[in-house]
Amino acid sequence: MELKLSEVLKDNDSKRIDSEYFKKHYLQFISLLKSKNHLILNDDSNIKGGKRLPLGDEFSENGTPYIRAEDNKKGFVDFDTSPKITDETYQKIKAYQTNFNDVLITNVGNSIGDVGIVKFSLDKCNLTENCIKIINLKENNPNYIFSFLNSKYGNLQILRETVGTAQPKLAIERVRNFKIPILSNYFQLKIETLVNKSHQTLEQSKTLYKQSEEILLKELDLLDFEPSKEKVAIKSFSDSFGSSGRLDSEYYLPMYDEVIGRIKKVKYDTLLNIVDINKSIETGSEAYQDEGIEYIRVANLYKMGLTPSKIFLDNDFFDTETVEKLQPKKDTILLSKDGTVGIAYAIKNERNIITSGAILHLSIRDKECVLPEYLTLVLNSLVVQMQSKRDAGGSIIKHWKPSEIGEVLIPIIDINIQTQIEEKIKESFKLKEESKRLLEVAKRAVEMAIEEGEDMGMGFIKDEVDL
């Protein structure tokens, strides 16, 4: 496509002249946005970056949540698993707070372009330097901005303005120049209602999941468990190195014995006797493609699901037999062994995915004895997390050996209680999917309003959701 220099420089503060920036579909959607009544994002809001931890400061067991890029996953920002910083560190970076209804965009790394919205209210909560926050909106509703940026019109602006390949970056100055169509307050309030309904549904999902955890922990007398802070344990040779082969003192902390002791009060078995453990494959970055078979890594795995990967493998990279072998089937439990170890998720439906070598595939041998969702809950619970912390603790980059994973103790409680737990978990995931659908409705309604008018967007919402 040929363009005049004057056309290249128009609305191009970055002075980019690479062909990627002037792809035909980019120019088409920019032309469409310009044809609508619109404003520049910076004219309607304040757009600020987060802050990295000061040199020498580290995370702590307790304190103020520190929101990272991985806590911002194209939906509702979550602080449940965020690391904590001390009050002293907070005081140094307290200007980089994030608050209710802030819209966040990840602007560095593999999750670049993920857009989330904050729906929690904390007196203190800091934001990483790898995210941009959009705050103090004057004309537009933050829920609309969140939905617009997740729509194809927001996403294409993010893609267009992202630079770099090895370490992609989205500069804050470019976000400030995003074009935002002006839609009526009435329509934006409908979008807000959808987003809030989605968040409420997600919270209901979390409540059910928490209830299932409480049932498990109550059965094991671990519901109000407080780990021992005792740092000394006296062990005989046969009860220490002679049986474990471990010399590091952290491995023998009393808190680990306390958890193991509770497990051994009920029926239990080793994980290796319950499941078949299969390894996946590590392809190397040279095999990465922009389309094909979705390649799931530990960063895409969390206990409530799989986030979409931006990395794919060529469909012809493996032969059909190998793909069949590597792709996880329904009820296969994915378990991370490297990096963030001990994250488990049971596959609900077969998908065209292959996981990295850092994720193991667990297949239950007897589902009449141990139910898939029950076992997944156990793996994600205090019961196994303490065992993984004991086994993989002390390393800078965590690695949980498959041999250690096979020896993990799994409580096998009454099948009727397992069934009760499984039913709650299934309902929890059902609500989670409904929450996700509502966000998709909001996003699609915004796209329709831009393309065909607000009446079409409103009609779509009415057909899809009972508000």
**Which of 5-9, 167-171, 389-393, 450-454 has the weakest average pLDDT?**
5-9
The per-residue pLDDT for range 169-178, each reduced to its tens digit, is 999 999 999 9
Residue 252 lies in a domain: no
Residue 223 lies in a domain: no
Residue 9's pLDDT band (cuts 50, 70, 90): very low
Higher local confidence (pLDDT), 110 or 60: 60
- Dig out the tokens for 357 from the structure: 């070598």
Residues 380 and 270 in one domain: yes
Give the N- to C-terminal CA distance of the chain in Å, as an integer.
Answer: 46
Tell how far CA 248 is from the center of its chain: 33
CATH value at residue 331:
3.90.220.20
pLDDT of 234 reads 55
Number of domains in the chain: 3
* Mean pLDDT value of segment 423-432: 97
pLDDT of 14 reads 55
Residue 99 lies in a domain: yes
Residues 161 and 195 in one domain: no
Last-in-domain residue among 142, 160, 182: 182
Residue 5's pLDDT band (cuts 50, 70, 90): very low
Phi, psi of 398 (to 5 degrees): -65, 140
- Beta strand segments in 347-428, E: 353-355, 359-364, 409-411
pTM value surpassing 0.75? yes
Residues 308 and 369 in one domain: yes
Residue 458's pLDDT band (cuts 50, 70, 90): very high
Residues 33 and 163 in one domain: yes
Say if residues 64 and 91 touch (Cβ distance below 8 Å).
Answer: no
Residue 237 lies in a domain: no
CA distance 71 to 78: 5
Residues 397 and 445 in one domain: no
Hey, what amino acid is at 251? Y
Which whole-number Å values give the CA distances from 348 to 306, 425, 435, 454, in the listed order? 11, 12, 17, 36
CA distance 290 to 85: 37
Residue 102's pLDDT band (cuts 50, 70, 90): very high
Residues 176 and 202 in one domain: no
The per-residue pLDDT for range 134-176, each reduced to its tens digit, is 999 999 999 999 999 999 999 999 999 998 776 789 999 999 9
pLDDT value at 2 more than 70: no
Residues 290 and 332 in one domain: yes
The per-residue pLDDT for range 272-304, each reduced to its tens digit, is 999 999 999 888 888 888 889 999 999 899 898
Residues 15 and 87 in one domain: yes
Burial class (CB in 10 A: 0-12, 13-18, 19+), 242: exposed
CA distance 236 to 310: 51
CA distance 345 to 372: 10
The per-residue pLDDT for range 230-283, each reduced to its tens digit, is 665 555 545 554 455 565 557 667 788 889 999 999 999 999 999 999 999 888
**Which of 74-78, 100-104, 210-214, 215-219 has the weakest average pLDDT?**
74-78
The per-residue pLDDT for range 361-371, each reduced to its tens digit, is 999 999 999 99
pLDDT of 16 reads 58
pLDDT of 299 reads 87
Residue 67 lies in a domain: yes
> Percent of the chain having pLDDT more than 90?
70
- Closest CA relative to residue 326, chosen from 308, 341, 313, 309: 313
CA distance 374 to 426: 10
Residue 398 lies in a domain: yes
- Dig out the tokens for 208 from the structure: 């059910």
Residue 326 lies in a domain: yes
- Dig out the tokens for 393 from the structure: 């603790």
Angle between helices 372-380 and 415-452 (to 10 degrees): 80
pLDDT of 237 reads 46
Pick the most confident of 299-308, 321-330, 399-408: 399-408
Query: Kind of pairing, strands 312-313 and 353-355?
Result: unpaired
DSSP 420-443: HHHHHHHHHHHHHHHHHHHHHHHH
Which whole-number Å values give the CA distances from 331 to 357, 365, 367, 376, in the listed order? 19, 11, 10, 10
Residues 459 and 378 in one domain: no
Hey, what amino acid is at 284? G
The per-residue pLDDT for range 350-386, each reduced to its tens digit, is 889 999 999 999 999 999 999 999 999 999 999 999 9
pLDDT of 81 reads 85
- Dig out the tokens for 268 from the structure: 């239990």
Q: In what order do the strands lie in the sheet with 64-67?
A: 84-85, 64-67, 126-127
Residues 61 and 152 in one domain: yes
Domain range for 153 is 5-182
Give start and end residues of each alpha helix (H) in 128-286. 142-150, 152-161, 172-176, 185-219, 241-244, 254-263, 271-274
Residue 231 lies in a domain: no
pLDDT of 27 reads 85
Residues 37 and 64 in one domain: yes
Phi/psi class of residue 56: alpha, beta or left (left: φ > 0; alpha: ψ in -120 to 50)?
Answer: left
Residues 289 and 397 in one domain: yes
**Which of 10-19, 77-86, 163-172, 250-259 has the weakest average pLDDT?**
10-19
CA distance 249 to 114: 41
